[in-house]
Structure 1
Amino acid sequence: ATAERAANEKRYLKSDLEFIGATVPATAKVVRDVLKAHGALARPDVTTLALALWQHPVHELRAAAVMVL
């Protein structure tokens, strides 16, 4: 993740969200690693995690919320 990538993505997507500058593959890897570390989550826990991630006005966290589902 770089500040330059974050600025470019924010400008390209014309978004009011904040951007970290992480790539989609990097974000997906973090999601996979976290889910693997915690084992199978019950549906209510998955929903709670996704909602918690979505509440942040950060593009990559919202992408992670979708990936969790």
Structure 2
Amino acid sequence: MIAVGLRAFEQGLPVRTEAPVVFTTPNTSEDEDEPLWLSKVAAAFTGSPIVRTVLNEVSEHHERSAEH
């Protein structure tokens, strides 16, 4: 997700913000939870074939759109 979001941003694609991601718990603050959550997400998606596929699809779609 992070890689796809960064690639989309680099290519000027719109960012979808319909539903914010909440990754804090009622007993902690964003400053306490955010680094751990981001490190877990990064570790989970490192080398993920799903992320690679989505990134490629987004990139290809953008390239096709730019050709027209």
TM-score by shorter chain over 0.5: no
| TM-score normalised per structure 2 | 0.29
More helix by share: 1
Q: State the structure with more CA Rg.
A: 2
| TM-score normalised per structure 1 | 0.29
Q: Flag the structure with more relative contact order, 1 or 2, with Cα contacts below 8 A and sequence separation at least 6.
A: 2
